[in-house]
Amino acid sequence: MQKDIAIRVKNMGIRFNLSRERVDNLKEYMIKFLRRDLKYNEFWALKEITFDIKQGERLGVLGLNGSGKSTLLKAVSGVLKPSEGSIHTNGVIAPLLELGAGFSPEYTGRENIYLYGAVLGYSKSFLDEKFDEIVDFSGLGEFIEVPVKNYSSGMKARLGFSIATVVEPDILILDEVLSVGDKKFRIKSENKIMSMFDKGVTVLFVSHSLEQVMRLCDKAIILDSGRLVAKGSVEKVGRIYKNMTE
Amino acid sequence: MSKQSYLKNFLKYKYLLVELVTKNIKLKYRRSYLGILWTLVEPLLQMLVLTLVFGVFFGKDDPQYPVYILTGRLLFGFFSSATKSGLKAVSSNASMIKKVYVPKYIYVVSSVLSNFITFLISLVDLVCVAAVLKVKPTIYLLEAVIPLLILFIFTIGFSLILSTLNVFFRDIEYIWSVFTMLLMYASAIFYEPQRLINTGNDWIFNFNPIFMCITNFRNAVLYGKPMELQYFAVSSVIAVVSLVAGVILFYKEQDKFILHV
């Protein structure tokens, strides 16, 4: 892969086997197996997706609900494995997806910083060093010693955002998370993301709001029922998307 | 992925393993008054109950009988609690697995490892009880490490298999709890193996690696005898086979987990 490519997706497809009814216990499975009744509906959430993102580019992914946007993000962040084709990424990825979902409720904020940091692949020494910065940015103050189960959803999201953005990522994956916490924190987090933009981070941004994508991205693609229907500059793709949705 | 990058990946998430093990141990006793001391108190109380029932009521007059019970109960307790939590390791971390990439075996290994650590702590009980009842340590005490290691490998292998199966079939949890109960009665924890052998049912022991590990552990700790080589050989083979089977099954199925958890 060339050095200046941050993400390369090639002929990538993801297939789900949707069973008509959910079979998750042994008895049903045995009965259906014996009656040869185990039928699956093959469903391609994504098919033949090919695109490159160069370093420093900001790609917006547009599409209606169920078009495969989130599946694409999961595939790029490594959570889902492609059924065919390939995805290559170059550099440290910071996925800002469903912030704070990985917290342990019984753990205090402090303990969760280390736990969640470890989940994101940070080392202990790195977290020790960045601990104060994370707490500062989250604005949680003394609440950092309180179990996370007593946090409000805004506080959780603030802590999650602060942990996930403490690295200097090469690739930032955003899923409409720019609306974190109260207005004060929202401005703070937008500023943080903007400063990453200035440093030349590569961005993969998913949204169904054309306005947001036009504001943040320079390139865009459109997904429709799992197919890539348009790619190019954000102006060109934006026009197509407008025609599609109107 | 090549072998090298598996290793690199493990090293990257080594700290996560430490964090998860700490979390499991910390949260197990959080908000309980005695905290981690329960690791020591619980087996002792169980030993007292079993000694009372089988020693006093059924008239066993071996003064070192409590040590006999404790060795069996500690080793079996590790196996049953580790597989029980290992079995749920993938499905209970579903929310994480769906959102962030982490090598998934870390969840299984960490839950077995944290149980192993509490087990090692609870061995303090054994040392105390053995000292009080004047069990004399011999050179064979050093051999006690071997059955523990075999049991650990066996437990990791089984937990990998069970956690994979449990993703697809949630009944495994209930089947397994019945099976562990059966296994407990087949592992000579509070009766002497001779009683089962006398009834002509010694084949039960020949398939039971838990029993073999317990026996070899007792030989080292309680009886001051060298280990039974046949038990050592058979249980090692079973342990390695289950580890290999577990790793293969887990790696083959792990990409499908996210669709089922």
Distances (CA, A) of A74 to A25, A174, B97: 27, 11, 11
Distances (CA, A) of B199 to B54, B58, B188, B195, B206: 19, 19, 14, 7, 15
A211 pLDDT band (50/70/90 cuts)? confident
pLDDT at position A78 is 87
In the predicted structure, residue A18 carries a pLDDT above the cut 80: no
Residue among A27, A80, A118 whose CB faces B15 most closely: A118
In the predicted structure, residue B192 carries a pLDDT above the cut 80: yes
Answer yes or no: do A119 and B100 touch at CB < 8 A: yes
Chain B residues at the A interface, defined by Cβ less than 8 Å, are: 12-13, 15-16, 18-20, 23, 26-27, 30, 95-102, 168-172, 175, 255, 258-260
Structure tokens at B70: 């404790």
In the predicted structure, residue B1 carries a pLDDT above the cut 60: no
pLDDT at position B201 is 84
Question: By the 8 A CB rule, do B238 and B209 touch?
Answer: yes
pLDDT at position A178 is 62
Which range has highest mean pLDDT (A7-11, A176-180, B242-246)?
A: B242-246
Mean pLDDT (whole number) for A140-159: 91
Residue B171 with chain A: CB contacts under 8 Å:
25-27
| Phi, psi of B38, deg, nearest 5 | -60, -30
- Quick: pLDDT tens for A26-84: 777 777 777 776 666 778 899 999 999 999 999 999 988 888 888 898 899 888 889 99
Structure tokens at A110: 């402090």
In the predicted structure, residue B30 carries a pLDDT above the cut 90: no
Answer yes or no: do B100 and A77 touch at CB < 8 A: yes
Q: Residue B55 — left, alpha, or beta (φ > 0 → left; ψ -120 to 50 → alpha)?
A: alpha
Instruction: Give A48→chain B minimum CA distance, Å.
Output: 20
Per-position DSSP letters for B77-122, written without gaps between them: HHHHHHHHHHHHHHHHTHHHHHHS---THHHHHHHHHHHHHHHHHH
Strands A5-19 and A84-89: antiparallel
Residue A74 with chain B: CB contacts under 8 Å:
98
Only one residue has tokens 């790793």, namely B247
Mean pLDDT (whole number) for B137-142: 92
Average pLDDT of the residues of chain A? 86
Answer yes or no: do A101 and B168 touch at CB < 8 A: no
Answer yes or no: do B98 and A79 touch at CB < 8 A: yes
Residue among A77, A101, A118 whose CB faces B95 most closely: A101
Q: Which of A1-15, A166-180, B63-77, B120-134 has the lowest mean pLDDT?
A: A166-180
pLDDT at position B140 is 94
For helices B65-92 and B209-218, the axis angle rounded to 10 degrees is: 140
In the predicted structure, residue A22 carries a pLDDT above the cut 70: no
- Quick: pLDDT tens for B205-231: 988 999 999 999 999 999 999 999 999
Residue A25 with chain B: CB contacts under 8 Å:
169-171
| CB atoms closer than 10 angstroms to residue B133 | 15
Instruction: Give B112→chain A minimum CA distance, Å.
Output: 18
Question: What length is written for chain A?
Answer: 246
pLDDT at position A177 is 56
Distances (CA, A) of A138 to A48, A187, A188, B13: 40, 13, 10, 25
Residue A150 with chain B: CB contacts under 8 Å:
none
Rounded to whole angstroms, the Cα distance separating B177 from B181 reads 6
Q: Considering chain A, what percentage of its residues have pLDDT values greater than 90?
A: 38
Q: Which of A16-25, A51-60, B177-186 has the lowest mean pLDDT?
A: A16-25
Residue among B23, B99, B172 whose CB faces A107 most closely: B23
Sheet architecture: strand order including A219-224: A93-96, A171-175, A202-206, A58-63, A219-224, A227-233
Q: Considering chain A, what percentage of its residues have pLDDT values greater than 70?
A: 93
pLDDT at position B147 is 97
| CB atoms closer than 10 angstroms to residue B52 | 10
Classify residue A220 by burial, with Cβ atoms within 10 Å: 0-12, 13-18, 19+: buried
Mean pLDDT (whole number) for B87-109: 90
A94 pLDDT band (50/70/90 cuts)? confident
Structure tokens at A193: 């993301």
CATH architecture, domain defined by A5-92+204-245: 3-Layer(aba) Sandwich (3.40)
Find the distance separating the first CA and the last CA of chain B, reported in whole Å: 24
Q: How many domains does chain B have?
A: 1
Which structural domain range is residue B195 located in?
3-260
pLDDT at position A19 is 65
Answer yes or no: do A123 and B19 touch at CB < 8 A: no
Mean pLDDT (whole number) for A6-28: 80
- A135 Cβ partners below 8 Å, 6+ apart? A109, A113, A141, A144, A162
pLDDT at position A33 is 76
Q: Residue A175 — left, alpha, or beta (φ > 0 → left; ψ -120 to 50 → alpha)?
A: beta
Mean pLDDT (whole number) for B237-251: 97
In the predicted structure, residue A180 carries a pLDDT above the cut 70: no
Q: What amino acid occupies position B5?
A: S
